[in-house]
Structure 1
Amino acid sequence: MLNKVVLIGRLTQDPELRYTSSGTPVSNFTLAVERNYKNRDGERDVDFIPIVTWRGLAETCAQHLGKGRMVAVSGRLQIRKRQGEDRTFVNPEIVANDVTFLDWPGDGEQRSESPSQNQSSSQEDQSAADQEPSPAADMLDDDEFDVPF
């Protein structure tokens, strides 16, 4: 059987990061996804879909995402049911396996990171680049670069 969902949309608010009693990180956010067709008024309807991320993905989303950012989410549909006094509540949500950032934060929207983290990651990237030269780098040195299509 297959339970796979892929969505592209914008966050309606900053992700909320929490920890379970055993210390596992979990973040929640809501994704606004426009429908592919227009309604009678000529406008696109929007669905608001709750997203749940776990562990490292949860921490990454909470650190780097914010309201209005566009992302692609792939994961599985999970239905949680809760029995009320007179009816059953059905709460669908997407448990994300992968979140791809599709835009860059605008000026003033960038999440705070310490300069030491930025510096160490750029040094690691540079040392990795020094170890393995990219085959594409040789092509970029030529003055005439033809696109193959």
Structure 2
Amino acid sequence: MASFNRVILVGNLTRDPELRYIPSGSAVSEIGLAVNDRVKKGDQWVDETTFVDITLWGRTAEVANEYLSKGSSVLIEGRLKLDSWEKDGQKRSKLRVIADKMQMLGGREGGGGGGAARGGNNRVASGARSSSAPSDDYGSYDDGGSSNSGGGGFPDDEIPF
């Protein structure tokens, strides 16, 4: 049986990224994302917010820590992962997103439009940097293995819009 595990979310950070390094030296960052949806209840439209925990790895985690803060608008592409553990004799589980790609959205307004520190607002990060940093503010990061472009950018057919 075939399966497909892909998630694309656009929302705002609920807290500043929490960057840490694991013993192997890889960067990992945890972020919370609030994703809004409008639903009609009776004759009124109501906003419903879903809160999603997201894990970023490698250079993507470092870029998020450097340029994003609470309230920043961001697009995340990744996969779902179910974490399970036992605490105080009770089994617990949590569904989270493991991000493969991140794109900062928004502008320079003081409301946390990611990338404002360098003037860019559409930077894409994916995994560890495979070449030197891009010279422009619209560069991309690529881990060399998560996309089929092989170069450092992303082919047009992988952009979700």
* TM-score, normalised by the number of residues in structure 1: 0.69
Provide the aligned C-alpha RMSD in A: 2.4
The superposition leaves residues 102-139 of structure 1 with CA deviations (integer Å, 9 ceiling, x where unpaired) of 112424957767xxxxxxx89x45xxxxxxxxxxxxxx
Closer/same/farther in 2, CA of residues 44 and 25 from structure 1, 3 Å limit:
same
Counterpart in the other structure of 2:52: 49
For 1:11-26, list aligned pairs within 5 A. Answer: 11-26=13-28
CA distance in 2, matches of 1:14, 1:8: 16
Q: Which protein is richer in helix relative to its size?
A: 1
Instruction: State which of 104, 107, 121 in structure 1 corresponds to 2:107.
Output: 104
Closer/same/farther in 2, CA of residues 91 and 71 from structure 1, 3 Å limit:
same
Closer/same/farther in 2, CA of residues 21 and 101 from structure 1, 3 Å limit:
same
Q: State which structure, 1 or 2, has the greater radius of gyration over its C-alpha atoms.
A: 1
Q: Is the 8 A contact 1:38 1:45 kept in 2?
A: no
Closer/same/farther in 2, CA of residues 17 and 105 from structure 1, 3 Å limit:
farther
Where does structure 2 lack aligned partners over 5 or more consecutive residues?
Answer: 119-132, 137-161
CA distance in 2, matches of 1:102, 1:96: 16
Answering whether residue 30 of structure 2 is matched by residue 28 of structure 1, we say yes
Instruction: State which of 3, 16, 19 in structure 1 corresponds to 2:5.
Output: 3
Paired letter, 2:106: D
Per-residue deviation, 1:35: 1.9
